[in-house]
Amino acid sequence: MSQGSTTEGARARARAEVTAAIKDEARRRLAAEGAAKLSLRAVARALGMVSSALYRYFPSRDDLLTALIIDAYDSLGERAEAADARSADAGPLGRWTAVAEAVREWALEHPHEYALIYGSPVPGYSAPATTVPPASRVGLVLLGILRDAHRSGALTTPPVPAALLPEAERMAAELAPDLPPASAAALVAAWAQLFGLVGFELFGQFHRLVEDRVTFFRHAAARLARGAGLD
Amino acid sequence: MSQGSTTEGARARARAEVTAAIKDEARRRLAAEGAAKLSLRAVARALGMVSSALYRYFPSRDDLLTALIIDAYDSLGERAEAADARSADAGPLGRWTAVAEAVREWALEHPHEYALIYGSPVPGYSAPATTVPPASRVGLVLLGILRDAHRSGALTTPPVPAALLPEAERMAAELAPDLPPASAAALVAAWAQLFGLVGFELFGQFHRLVEDRVTFFRHAAARLARGAGLD
DNA sequence: CACATTCGAGAGCACTGCTCTTGCTTTGCC
DNA sequence: GGCAAAGCAAGAGCAGTGCTCTCGAATGTG
């Protein structure tokens, strides 16, 4: 065990390198032709190894996809967090739109990865629990903005009908006990709606319908923020 | 040509029947295991024919998928139109939420078909122009509600920043010259956001986050309507 | 009735995910 | 330093896929 960390580390490092190379190549092929056409054999071929060797690193194609999914969530989450940090002094609404635009831009740059995480789930595949934290990052950024706004008194509480109150209280307790229940519920809705805008643009539903997409999105995202209580 | 329609119709009818049987079986398998795992061979096998015979009816797997896509859009569109008609005297907001809930219910009943039309697009595949009219039906229903509201003076025009005005005017000219530009732009945004809510629920993003989904959705859809100028 | 068109069946190609066995190399312990 | 053990790549092989082609047989049309 004295020098065990280096010797054992050598093996582990080699393994980590090959694993990373596989993921890199897989990501490249994913970007090139989408998740549905991602082939283990093609990845192995590009790496100069035989397909069966790849199973030493990923027990199945779905496990490779899971790794790519986690990476995609992390990549997007990082981008959103960076955009938020960069506009820390732009006020709640400025931060919100900055994050929203960062999400949109990331999606446009990585359409296949976006489709992988926010598009149709793979039939037999169900995401393992390890994907949950990375998947929450964008939501947590938006939540942080609302929380800061609330702390500084810049958050107006949206109206909430009596029927929704119990659910809103449950949501607030779950994800932000310091926020008014109505704000928590409004945030979740705005969060989903934000990705509706991004997805529709990305998946071609805006074809010939929205032309100036940057302006349209910016305005829609800002209205979403106001709907969640920011201004 | 005197009796041509019956004799020629015999062959054509047989062909139409087989085509329908293929689509039916394909739809069944689609609902069972999703588009990604939809196999021509499995469909053929279930129908007691050999895979190559299927190519007499659909030149490729993608063409079969296109047929299913059109059917799905039509099925959803019909449902939305029916919901709208059923609540014709519920006022604009009542019609809107009825349509929104119909869309949600259809999606929950046909998750794989929903994923087919609003989820990740198939990699190489690009939807032919024939899918456009069926794909527009839900949007046209929502547009009709706004148009009626506008005619009866029940539509408030949402605020629109100067930067968005040209685009809003273009959109209004394109899809509803009788509507105020701001309303047209707000409608498109609300439309996309509505499907964001549905998609997030269907694709599992609301897992452990939203429990009382009917109430949550109803409230969010109603707020969407108000954002588009209805109340 | 004879012809031409349509159709189903089968074989086959190139590809996929995945499993299993066979050796080789590296590693960690005695 | 030597040796057993573990890790690893390679290859063969299985069952399945989309799709093409050819070859008879059925079928509706002139």
CA angle, A21 as apex, A16 and A22 as ends, to 5°? Answer: 100
Per CB-CB distance under 8 Å, the chain B contacts of A127 are 204
Range of the domain at B52: 1-59
Select the more confidently predicted residue: B7 or A227: A227
Whether residue B1 has pLDDT greater than 50:
no
Using 50, 70 and 90 to split pLDDT, how confident is the model at A121?
Answer: confident
Out of A164, A192, A205, name the one closest to residue B197 (CB).
Answer: A192
Same domain as B71, residue B55? no
Round to whole Å and give the CA distance between A117 and A106: 13
**CA(A39)–C1'(C26) in Å?**
30
pLDDT digits (tens, 9 = 90+) for A22-68: 999 999 999 988 898 999 999 999 999 999 999 999 999 999 999 99
How many Cβ pairs closer than 8 A exist between chain A and B? Answer: 177
Give the CATH number for residue A55.
1.10.10
What pLDDT does B81 receive?
98
- CA quadruple A201, A202, A207, A210: dihedral, nearest 10: 20
Burial of A175 (0-12, 13-18, 19+ CB in 10 A): middle
Same domain as A79, residue A171? yes
Q: Using an 8 Å Cβ cutoff, are B40 and B26 in contact? A: no
Per CB-CB distance under 8 Å, the chain A contacts of B209 are 171, 174-175, 188
**For strand D, which nucleotides have at least one atom less than 7 Å from a protein CB?**
7-13, 16-22, 27-30
Contacts of A162 (CB under 8 A, 6+ apart): none
Same domain as B163, residue B92? yes
Round to whole Å and give the CA distance between B193 and B227: 11
Tell me what the mean pLDDT of segment B117-131 comes to. 78
Nucleic strand C within 7 A of Cβ A38:
yes
Q: Using an 8 Å Cβ cutoff, are B138 and B100 in contact? A: no
Same domain as A85, residue A13? no
Count of domains for chain B: 2
Same domain as A88, residue A25? no
Identify the closest residue of chain A to B210 by CA–CA distance. A171
pLDDT digits (tens, 9 = 90+) for A141-198: 999 999 999 999 999 999 999 999 999 999 999 999 999 999 999 999 999 999 999 9
Round to whole Å and give the CA distance between A30 and B118: 20
**CA(A47)–C1'(D20) in Å?**
31
Using 50, 70 and 90 to split pLDDT, how confident is the model at B145?
Answer: very high
Tell me what the mean pLDDT of segment B53-58 comes to. 96
Per CB-CB distance under 8 Å, the chain A contacts of B158 are 223
Using 50, 70 and 90 to split pLDDT, how confident is the model at B97?
Answer: very high
Whether residue B6 has pLDDT greater than 50:
no
Select the more confidently predicted residue: A129 or B179: B179
Same domain as A136, residue A169? yes
Q: How far is CA B138 from CA A21, A209, B58, in A?
A: 45, 15, 28
Using 50, 70 and 90 to split pLDDT, how confident is the model at A122?
Answer: low
Whether residue B180 has pLDDT greater than 80:
yes
Averaged pLDDT score across all residues of chain B: 93
CA angle, A32 as apex, A31 and A33 as ends, to 5°? Answer: 100
Same domain as B124, residue B49? no
Round to whole Å and give the CA distance between B220 and B206: 14
Per CB-CB distance under 8 Å, the chain A contacts of B206 are 188, 192
Same domain as A80, residue A53? no
Using 50, 70 and 90 to split pLDDT, how confident is the model at B143?
Answer: very high
Same domain as A190, residue A128? yes
The model's pTM:
0.94
**At which residue do the structure tokens 């005017």 appear?**
B169
Query: DSSP string of chain A?
Result: -TTHHHHHHHHHHHHHHHHHHHHHHHHHHHHHH-STT--HHHHHHHTTS-HHHHTTT-SSHHHHHHHHHHHHHHHHHHHHHHHHHHTTTSHHHHHHHHHHHHHHHHHHH-HHHHHHHHSPPPSS----GGGHHHHHHHHHHHHHHHHHHHHTT--PPPP--GGGHHHHHHHHHHH-TTS-HHHHHHHHHHHHHHHHHHHHHHTTTTTTT-SSHHHHHHHHHHHHHHHTT--
Q: Which of A59, A75, A100 is a domain's end point?
A: A59
Same domain as A95, residue A141? yes
What pLDDT does B58 receive?
96
**CA(A159)–C1'(C18) in Å?**
55
Best of B113, B120, B201, B208 to disrupt the A interface (most A CBs within 10 Å) is: B120
**CA(A227)–C1'(C12) in Å?**
61
Q: Using an 8 Å Cβ cutoff, are A102 and A79 in contact? A: yes
Q: Which of B16, B40, B59 is a domain's end point?
A: B59
Whether residue B222 has pLDDT greater than 90:
yes
**CA(B3)–C1'(C2) in Å?**
22
Whether residue B4 has pLDDT greater than 60:
no
Q: Which of A14, A40, A59 is a domain's end point?
A: A59
CB contact under 8 A, B35 and A204: no
Q: Using an 8 Å Cβ cutoff, are B149 and B84 in contact? A: no
Same domain as B40, residue B17? yes
Whether residue A123 has pLDDT greater than 80:
no
Whether residue A5 has pLDDT greater than 60:
no
Return phi, psi of residue A35, to 5°: -65, -35
Give the CATH number for residue A80.
1.10.357.10
Same domain as A94, residue A27? no
**For strand C, which nucleotides have at least one atom less than 7 Å from a protein CB?**
6-12, 15-21, 26-29
Footprint of strand D on the protein (CB under 7 A): A 11, 14-15, 18, 48-53, 56-57; B 4, 7-8, 10-11, 14, 38-42, 51-52, 55, 59-62
